[in-house]
Amino acid sequence: MKSLLEVKNLRIDFKTYGGEVHAVRGVNFEVKRGETIGIVGESGCGKSVTAKAIMKLLASPPAQYKEGSITYNGIDLIEASEREMERIRGNEISMIFQDPMTSLNPTSKVGMQIMESVLKHNQMTRKKAYNLALDTLKLVGIPQPEKRMEQYPHEFSGGMRQRAMIAMALVCQPKLLIADEPTTALDVTIQAQILELMKDIQKQSETAIILITHDLGVVAEICDRVVVMYAGKVVESGTVLEIFQKPKHPYTKGLLKSVPRFDMDKSVPLAPIIGSPPDLFSPPKGCSFYPRCDYAMKICMEHDPDLEDVGDGQITACWLQHPMAKAMNVKKVINA
Ligand code: SF4
Ligand code: MG
């Protein structure tokens, strides 16, 4: 299947008074039509920056696209004009954020906001736009949609606001929906409902979803494939089954051991990953994970491993998976 979105060797820096932050340092992944991919990693690993880069929502300066490409449906988004991006944003690619109030205007009725987003991109009568907005509110499970159309965001509960924001993101039937921590601010039952809703959307439409989260439980629930990021880079990616059942990268293994899961042996205690991610002003020379890695070897401190195919499209960036691993002195663990 042809890719809908392809991110290749993306590098983004932020210029600050303290120097340059290398926030995204070579990110590669692709999204096919209708598939859901999860991007996971600790906060500050570059997930949200990558998402905003796709939407071209990073203010420049301070952000600088250093290298690489983002291709959507054959269009180079980094080179695209602001006019072209205005056509794409909301219409072809939509984004939902953790806090619905960042997308909803508190001074305008919810129905009007959804209608405006339709009318911005499509030639149609207000009556048609109204009906479409109403149908989308129904689709996202908002009860009494006629009444809700006339209300302001503050009259909605947190969960309902999140649904309204999803409605606004979906009303133009985008081909790609980017959801950045869409359930983090919600309580657990509402979280489950929103995930259920996203699963339904995925079933009913051809919309591809990029779900950004630090929550592996959410990923297991709805994603087809997973991209694991660490310190501004992709360190592993594969199908959900591959990542959960045979993770290859020590960081992915660490992430899986640090969160409770239903399928895990309850007698094995949870183990957080000791230490913290590197400072992205001056990331380490070799593998960024070596200061925290139980398997770190001498080579890891000096050379950063490339992503290698470890079978069936699962890829990982770790010297332990290098074809020459056996020939290298892999026994020399430095953090033991
Ligand atoms: Fe650990 Fe080395 Fe693999 Fe990095 S390359 S994850 S330090 S073993
Ligand atoms: Mg974030």
pLDDT of residue 51: 95
Output the CA 50–ligand 2 centroid distance in Å. 10
Q: Is there a single domain that holds both residue 193 and residue 248? A: yes
Least confident range from 7-11, 213-217, 259-263, 276-280: namely: 259-263
Question: Which of 112, 138, 172 is at the close of a domain?
Answer: 172
Output the CA 295–ligand 1 centroid distance in Å. 6
Output the CA 48–ligand 1 centroid distance in Å. 24
**Domain assignment of residue 292, yes or no:** no
Mean pLDDT of 4-14: 96
Q: Are 96 and 89 in contact (CB under 8 A)?
A: no
* CB 293 near ligand 1, within 6 Å: yes
**Backbone region of residue 73 per phi and psi (left: phi > 0; alpha: psi in -120 to 50; beta: other values):** left
Tens-digit pLDDT profile for residues 102-133: 788 999 999 999 999 899 888 899 999 999 99
Mean pLDDT of 156-175: 90
pLDDT of residue 83: 94
Output the CA 77–ligand 1 centroid distance in Å. 33
Q: Is there a single domain that holds both residue 112 and residue 30? A: no
Cα 215-43-290 angle, rounded to 5 deg: 100
pLDDT of residue 290: 93
The Cα–Cα gap between 8 and 11 comes to 9
How many structural domains compose the chain? 2
Q: Using the atom order of ligand 1, give the atom closest to the CA of residue 287.
A: 4
Mean pLDDT of 211-237: 93
**Domain assignment of residue 19, yes or no:** yes
Least confident range from 65-79, 282-296, 314-328: namely: 314-328
Mean pLDDT estimate for the chain: 89
- Output the pTM of the full model: 0.91
The Cα–Cα gap between 75 and 71 comes to 5
The Cα–Cα gap between 76 and 12 comes to 16
Q: Is there a single domain that holds both residue 219 and residue 150? A: no
- Could you give the dihedral angle defined by the CA atoms of residues 280, 283, 289 and 291, in that order, rounded to the nearest 10 degrees? -110
Contacts with 331 (C-beta within 8 Å, 6 or more apart), sequence order:
297
As beta bridge partners, residue 213 has 40
Q: Is there a single domain that holds both residue 261 and residue 192? A: yes
**CATH label of the domain that carries residue 270:** 3.40.50.300
* CB 295 near ligand 1, within 6 Å: yes
Q: How many residues belong to the chain?
A: 336
Q: Is there a single domain that holds both residue 267 and residue 246? A: yes
Question: Which of 220, 242, 274 is at the close of a domain?
Answer: 274
Place of tokens 């990542």: 243
The Cα–Cα gap between 57 and 19 comes to 22
Residue 193 scores a pLDDT above 90: no
Output the CA 192–ligand 2 centroid distance in Å. 20
**Domain assignment of residue 316, yes or no:** no
**Domain assignment of residue 35, yes or no:** yes
Tell me the CA distances in angstroms from 164 to 106, 158, 205, 248, 258, one per residue in order. Answer: 13, 10, 18, 39, 33
> What percent of the chain has pLDDT above 90?
61
Q: Are 222 and 198 in contact (CB under 8 A)?
A: yes
Q: Using the atom order of ligand 1, give the atom closest to the CA of residue 301.
A: 7
Tell me the CA distances in angstroms from 26 to 67, 91, 209, 255, one per residue in order. Answer: 8, 28, 21, 21
**Domain assignment of residue 303, yes or no:** no
* CB 216 near ligand 1, within 6 Å: no
**Domain assignment of residue 334, yes or no:** no
**Domain assignment of residue 287, yes or no:** no
- The pLDDT confidence band at residue 329, using thresholds 50, 70 and 90, is low
Q: Using the atom order of ligand 1, give the atom closest to the CA of residue 299.
A: 2
* CB 29 near ligand 1, within 6 Å: no
Q: Are 102 and 152 in contact (CB under 8 A)?
A: no
pLDDT of residue 330: 56
- Give residue 114's domain range: 101-172
Q: Is there a single domain that holds both residue 109 and residue 125? A: yes
Question: Which of 172, 202, 221 is at the close of a domain?
Answer: 172
Q: Is there a single domain that holds both residue 80 and residue 113? A: no
Q: Is there a single domain that holds both residue 191 and residue 226? A: yes
Tens-digit pLDDT profile for residues 235-283: 999 999 999 999 999 999 999 988 766 566 666 677 788 888 888 888 8
pLDDT of residue 333: 61
pLDDT of residue 201: 82
Which bound ligand lies closest to the C-alpha atom of 298? Answer: 1
Q: Is there a single domain that holds both residue 85 and residue 131? A: no
pLDDT of residue 131: 94
pLDDT of residue 214: 85
Mean pLDDT of 312-320: 92
Q: Where are the beta strands (DSSP E) in the chain?
A: 3-16, 19-32, 36-40, 63-72, 75-76, 93-96, 176-180, 208-213, 225-230, 233-239, 308-309, 315-316
Q: Is there a single domain that holds both residue 124 and residue 269? A: no
From 319, 321, 324, 328, the mutation candidate for ligand 1 (largest count of ligand atoms within 8 A of CB) is 319
**If you take atom 5 of ligand 1, which residue's CA is the nearest one?**
318
Q: Is there a single domain that holds both residue 183 and residue 88? A: yes
* SS3 call for 230: strand
* SS3 call for 55: helix
Half-sphere exposure of 302 (CA within 13 A, CB side): 3
Pick the closest to residue 306 from 250, 254, 235 (CA basis).
Answer: 235
The Cα–Cα gap between 253 and 234 comes to 15
Q: Is there a single domain that holds both residue 260 and residue 234? A: yes
**Domain assignment of residue 331, yes or no:** no
Tens-digit pLDDT profile for residues 15-56: 998 899 999 999 999 999 999 999 999 888 999 999 999 999
The Cα–Cα gap between 330 and 326 comes to 7
Q: Are strands 63-72 and 225-230 parallel, antiparallel or unpaired?
A: unpaired
Transcribe 32-49 into DSSP letters: ETT-EEEEE-STTSSHHH
* CB 250 near ligand 1, within 6 Å: yes
Residue 9 scores a pLDDT above 60: yes
